[in-house]
């Protein structure tokens, strides 16, 4: 109730008091029931024995732990019980300035990390992932990236772990209120980078390291705040932590730090302003030069560890000097196997969905409305009345504000802007003439997003991505010659090279880390008290973690089902039965369900899956049922043939008269299910990611 559902302490105590009264009444009822049973069977016992029997019966009631003498009766007793019976790793409070009571809290990874690695469910998945090898020329994970292959510790023969850090600020008070910025918090989280994304994206598997007031970070710098974390990381790099389950010490290091651009530049020691001359953390491009020169031209020298070290040395010798955008050294550079030049990947969320996409949509929509293809009211009506389904319903875009022309952006958060970009061709595409160049800009950025959202890259994909980004830049500058490219446009041009260095960028984006902030915001609303807030937030978080660590498995089940029924395959559609018999011999029973959750992703009737291809185009299937055969999930799908509609950058699908199919998850072109929408009597599917590699 307290750690997961955020029930306040006062409400929890009230519930316990009421349950205790129920327990007392139940005790009286138990005594009367025992007496009645004894009397019915003509048995007599003395009052002392009767009292002993009823008290013993009362102790079997789970509510007895809430009685006056029970271990959960008061908040103090509950806290003591948690610490005794659960792995509660308490945060440590460090003093920055005793006079003004400036503190921060740190959850020691030297305690937490060994406890996690001694769990079979965690270490087994890490070891399993470390043994996965990719085909030559493919980028499936960070292990295929150049920076991982250059890390002498992680690429050694011994088992080592890779950690990913995340740093960000979040507001716990009303962002429009009087306490805005006063209680703003800087948080540092960490994850096991070696875990597959489907596991480490769960909020319970994102671990807290540091909470500090953001104003204190600006006052005291990153040095003292990172000191206890760095101390533990030094031990991890040099001695490692002993893991009983493996009978040896495991070493590791920080592989990367995820953050938005401002947070990355601040921690890495680069200038936080993106209007300065040397603004890029990946190369030495100047702000003016990016308007006429692209990264593909090869005229911007890339940053290197040697150049950065020289710049830092010059800055140290000349206080206040900025060299090539470098203001100071990064505190994490003290580690033996981390460097800020190779440790801060770009963030897909902030660069695209909260940067380029809303700005370019604003530019293009303003022009398309001026051309009188449609009005803003017509567009907003289409947005508000579109029949969103499944995940699109949760991420439905907001109406475009009337002042969007003055603001220079359509606004919206990352989820909403992604949905708007994907579905805009279905909303207004039929109103736009063929080959309209302004419309082409929107379609180009849609294509680029789909490629970047892919979980796997090949060299061919990267060359294609590089070409599409270059073409998009040229078209943007042709159609809007007065528009000045943003720094994020320049960052985007680095993406093909950065994928070769880091691996697929979706592995590092901040979207799940930002969702983690919601836990602390809920705690603040629950507690309704900002006194010693950091320690309160960290303590509540550690209670939540202890709750999950008390479970047999830290990870959600690979498969969760709803409304399941078991039948004989003989009663199924003949084509489905024959397919099952071919795939699974001697099967006598199968289970049917309408909805399944596979590694947290929902699959339900009516969704579309992309499976297989015909003549270079992906095939689709509409889910009719989820099928469980020999404990393996499958999907009974109705096959659909697809045509690619260039003007909408979507697939038009038509029901295939051939027999129904049974497909397994590994046969999908992409794991994420899609929605089909009827637009002018055509069934259209707008993918989230590039479907065929």
Of 90, 108, 100, the closest CA to residue 220 belongs to 100
Q: What is the pLDDT of residues 66-78, one digit of tens each?
A: 888 888 889 899 8
pLDDT of residue 177: 55
Q: Is residue 72 part of a domain?
A: yes
**Same domain assignment for residues 13 and 39:** yes
In a domain, 278, yes or no: no
Strands 617-629 and 661-663: unpaired
- Judge if 234 and 168 occupy the same domain: yes
Is the pLDDT at 46 greater than 90? The verdict is no
Write out the H or E segment, with its range, that includes residue 461: helix 459-479
pLDDT in tens, 580-636: 888 888 888 899 988 999 988 999 999 999 998 988 899 999 999 899 988 889 999
CA torsion angle 8 9 12 13 (round to 10): -150
Residue whose token pair is 């004989």: 568
CATH code at position 679: 2.30.30
Q: 234 and 113, same structural domain?
A: yes
Range name among 44-53, 432-441, 656-665 with the lowest pLDDT average:
44-53
Cβ atoms of 603 and 627 closer than 8 Å: no
Higher pLDDT, residue 573 or 299: 299
Question: In the prediction, which pLDDT does 587 show?
Answer: 85
Helix (H) or strand (E) holding 31: helix 9-40
Whether the Cβ atoms of residue 674 and residue 685 lie closer than 8 Å to each other: yes
Q: What is the pLDDT of residue 25?
A: 82
Sign of CA dihedral 7, 11, 15, 20: positive
User: Does residue 358 contact residue 410 with C-beta atoms inside 8 Å?
Assistant: yes
CA distance 228 to 226: 6
Look up the pTM and report it: 0.91
- CA-nearest of 566, 580, 565, 564 to 659 is 580
Same domain, 424 and 361: yes
Which tokens is 489 given?
Answer: 């446009």
> 228: pLDDT confidence band, cut at 50, 70 and 90?
very high
DSSP secondary structure letters along 526-572: HH---TTHHHHHHHHHHHHHHHHHTSS-SSPPSEEEEEEEEE-GGGS
Judge if 540 and 480 occupy the same domain: no
Q: Are residues 563 and 674 in the same domain?
A: yes
Mean pLDDT, rounded, of the chain: 91
Find the mean pLDDT for residues 641-660: 92
Identify the burial level of 57 via C-beta atoms within 10 angstroms of its C-beta, where 0-12 means exposed, 13-18 middle and 19 or more buried. Answer: middle
For residues 454 and 689, the answer to whether their CB atoms sit within 8 Å is: yes
Instruction: Provide the pLDDT for residue 340.
Output: 97
Q: What is the pLDDT of residues 407-429, one digit of tens each?
A: 999 999 999 999 999 999 999 99
**CB neighbourhood size of 675 (10 A):** 19
Is the pLDDT reported for residue 693 higher than 60? no
Number of domain units in the chain: 4
Residue 330 in domain:
no
359 and 482, same domain (yes or no):
yes
Domain shared by 420 and 530, yes or no: no
CB count within 10 Å of CB 54 equals 19
> Within a domain: residue 294?
no
**Is 526's pLDDT higher than 60?**
yes
CB 644 within 8 A of CB 685: no
**Residue of higher predicted confidence among 510 and 60:** 510
406 and 452 assigned to the same domain: yes
> What percent of the chain clears pLDDT 90, i.e. is strictly above it?
67
Within this chain, do residues 537 and 603 fall inside the same structural domain, yes or no? no
Q: Sorting pLDDT into bands at 50, 70 and 90, what band is 637?
A: very high
- Whether 296 is in a domain gets the answer no
Convert the pLDDT of each residue in 108-133 to its tens digit. 999 999 999 999 999 999 988 877 77
The CA distance from 314 to 579, in Å, is: 70
What pLDDT is attached to residue 35? 80
The whole-number pLDDT of residue 179 equals 57
Lowest mean pLDDT among 519-533, 543-557, 673-687: 519-533
Res. 82: pLDDT tops 70 = yes
Do 472 and 424 lie in one domain? The reply is yes
pLDDT in tens, 267-286: 999 999 999 999 999 999 99
pLDDT over 90 at 326, yes or no: yes
Given a contact cutoff of 8 angstroms between Cβ atoms, the answer to whether 296 and 466 are in contact is yes
Which of 191-200, 227-236, 244-253, 578-587 shows the lowest mean pLDDT across its residues?
A: 578-587
Query: 305 pLDDT exceeds 60?
Result: yes
Per-residue pLDDT band for 175 (boundaries 50, 70, 90) equals: low
Q: Which domain holds residue 68?
A: 9-85
Q: How confident is the model at residue 178 (pLDDT cuts 50, 70, 90)?
A: low
Indicate whether 272 belongs to any domain.
no
Length of the chain measured in residues: 693
């Amino acid at each position: 109730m307290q750690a997961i559902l955020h029930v306040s302490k006062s409400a929890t105590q009230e519930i316990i008091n009421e349950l205790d009264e129920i327990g007392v009444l139940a005790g009286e009822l138990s005594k009367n029931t025992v007496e009645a049973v004894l009397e019915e069977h003509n048995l007599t016992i003395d009052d002392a024995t009767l009292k002993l029997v009823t008290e013993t019966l009362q102790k079997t009631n789970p509510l007895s732990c809430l009685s006056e003498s029970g271990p959960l009766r008061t908040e103090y007793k509950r806290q003591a019980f948690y610490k005794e019976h659960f792995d509660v790793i308490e945060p440590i409070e460090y003093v920055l300035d005793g006079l003004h009571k400036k503190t921060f809290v740190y959850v020691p990874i030297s305690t937490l990390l060994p406890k996690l690695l001694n769990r079979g469910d965690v270490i087994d998945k890490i070891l399993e992932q470390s043994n996965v090898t990719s085909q030559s020329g493919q980028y499936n994970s960070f292990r295929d990236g150049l920076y991982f292959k250059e890390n002498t510790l992680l690429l050694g023969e011994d088992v080592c772990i890779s950690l990913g850090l995340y740093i960000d600020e979040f507001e716990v008070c009303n962002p429009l209120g009087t306490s805005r910025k006063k209680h703003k918090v800087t948080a540092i989280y960490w994850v096991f980078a070696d875990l597959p994304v489907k596991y480490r994206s769960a909020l319970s598997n994102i671990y807290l390291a540091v909470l500090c007031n953001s104003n204190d970070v600006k006052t005291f710098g990153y040095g003292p705040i990172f000191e206890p974390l760095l101390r533990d990381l030094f031990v991890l790099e040099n001695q490692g932590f002993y893991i009983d389950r493996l009978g040896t010490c495991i070493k590791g290091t920080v592989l990367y730090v995820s953050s938005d651009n401002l947070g990355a530049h601040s921690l890495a020691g680069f200038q936080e302003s993106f209007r300065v001359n040397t603004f890029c953390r990946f190369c030495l491009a100047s702000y003016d030069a990016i308007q006429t020169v692209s990264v593909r031209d090869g005229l911007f020298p890339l940053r290197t560890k040697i150049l950065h070290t020289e710049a830092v040395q010059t800055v140290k010798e000349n206080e206040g000097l900025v060299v090539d955008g470098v203001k100071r050294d990064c505190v994490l550079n003290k580690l033996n196997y981390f460097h800020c030049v190779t440790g801060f990947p770009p963030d897909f969320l902030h660069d695209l969905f909260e940067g380029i996409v809303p700005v370019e949509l604003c530019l293009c929509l303003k022009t398309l409305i001026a051309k009188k293809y449609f009005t803003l009211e017509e567009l907003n009506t289409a947005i508000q009345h579109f029949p969103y389904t499944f995940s699109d319903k949760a991420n439905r875009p907001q109406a475009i504000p009337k002042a969007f022309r003055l603001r220079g952006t359509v606004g919206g958060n990352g989820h909403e802007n992604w949905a708007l970009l994907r579905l805009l061709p279905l909303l207004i595409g039929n109103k736009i003439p063929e080959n309209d160049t302004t419309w082409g800009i929107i379609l180009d950025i849609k294509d680029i997003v789909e490629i970047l959202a892919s979980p796997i890259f090949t060299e061919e994909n990267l060359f294609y991505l590089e070409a599409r980004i270059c073409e998009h830049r040229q078209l943007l500058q042709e159609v809007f010659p007065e528009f000045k490219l943003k720094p994020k446009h320049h960052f985007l041009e680095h993406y093909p090279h950065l994928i070769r260095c880091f691996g697929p960028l979706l592995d590092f984006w901040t979207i799940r880390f930002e969702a983690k902030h919601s836990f602390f915001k809920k705690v603040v609303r629950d507690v309704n008290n900002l006194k010693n807030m950091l320690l309160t937030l960290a303590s509540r978080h550690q209670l939540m973690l202890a709750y999950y660590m008390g479970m047999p498995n830290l990870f959600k089940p690979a498969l969760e089902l709803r409304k399941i029924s078991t039948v004989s395959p003989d009663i199924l559609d003949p084509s489905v039965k024959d397919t099952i018999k071919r795939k699974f011999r001697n099967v006598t029973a199968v289970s049917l369900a309408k909805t399944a959750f596979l590694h947290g992703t929902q699959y339900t009737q009516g969704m579309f899956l992309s499976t297989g291809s015909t003549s270079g185009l992906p095939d689709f299937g509409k889910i009719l049922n989820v099928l469980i055969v020999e404990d393996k999930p499958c999907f009974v799908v109705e096959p659909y043939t697809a045509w690619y509609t260039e003007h909408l950058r979507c697939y038009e699908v038509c029901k295939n008269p051939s027999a129904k199919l049974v497909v397994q998850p590994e046969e999908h072109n992409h794991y994420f299910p899609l929605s089909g929408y009827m637009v002018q009597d055509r069934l259209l599917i707008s993918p989230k990611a590039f479907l065929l590699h």
